[in-house]
Amino acid sequence: MSLPRFGPHNDPGPDFAALLRLTGTGPETGSLGASAQHPQAPPEIPHGTTCVAVRYDSGVVMAGDRRATAGHLISNHRIEKVFPADRHSGVAIAGAAGPSAEMVRLFQLQLEHYEKVEGTPISLEGKANQLGQMVRANLPSAMQGLVVVPIFAGFDTAASRGRIFEYDVTGGRYEERDHAATGSGSLHADTVVKLGYRTSMARNAAVDLVLDALYVASDADSATGGPDPVRDVFPVVAVIDAGGYVRLDDAELRRRTERLLRRHRSRREGDEAGAS
């Protein structure tokens, strides 16, 4: 490999970042060793998007939409982004779909292995810390576009309450008091949750709130999929309480979604009648 040569008009001098860009070896080129004249664009990778978690009086509710996108293409209408971590906890993923799913499987395996070796489950705090280390280990891949940013939530059997943790790309772990959101539609979803959240809200109210949040996010963010009754595609919603992790079935989600759509339709018709 020969050393790169620069003319007087494009010499990066002591700027190392500029040198990487000119030689095509920076993370934004998507390919180490690409020439400056022929940079290689990174491949279009399926990404999962919006997930939310809300704490209610007896536990937590986690939900995620079902759309995966690769650039402007909808690559999957039925991807799952909410998974059980163990009996009393779950993880919701946003980011590059492949690394996200791999991280979840490894996380599940590590928690199962710890319980088999120690004879007791790891504490919820310990689970959150372990997931943070895994996110931190993914940082080199994240710098090349394979970002994974999860939400972790569960029922703390020692404290008898639900708890929610969110992360940044460096593995930083932050406990949220009442709710959290991640993904491209998180701004819109989080706004809905903030407006609708009430302290010590009941389970059914929390489920309806996360469905509403994802619906509004899908209306404003093209990467977030809305409910599709024609294809029987609804968000993945899981409830975690003292009884453990339970995923809601599609029949219940269809009933709740139809009620949600009727409510939005009535509100819109009322607004139009008031304006006329």
State the catalytic residues. 49
Please give the Cα distance from 211 to 6 (Å, whole number): 56
Strand order in the sheet with 89-92: 82-86, 89-92, 151-156, 161-167, 173-176
Asked if 163 contacts 179 with a C-beta cutoff of 8 angstroms, the reply is no
Would you tell me the crossing angle of helices 250-275 and 203-220 to the nearest 10 degrees? 60
Of 236, 254, 256, nearest in space to 246 by CA? 236
Please give the Cα distance from 90 to 154 (Å, whole number): 6
* Cα dist from 264 to 12, 16, 67, 201, whole Å: 56, 53, 22, 21
Please give the Cα distance from 125 to 267 (Å, whole number): 42
* Cα dist from 242 to 34, 136, 156, 161, 239, whole Å: 54, 30, 8, 8, 10
Please give the Cα distance from 165 to 142 (Å, whole number): 20
Q: What is the DSSP letter of 222?
A: T
* Cα dist from 263 to 65, 185, 201, whole Å: 20, 22, 20
- Provide the token pair at 51: 């997930």
Of 28, 1, 26, nearest in space to 12 by CA? 26
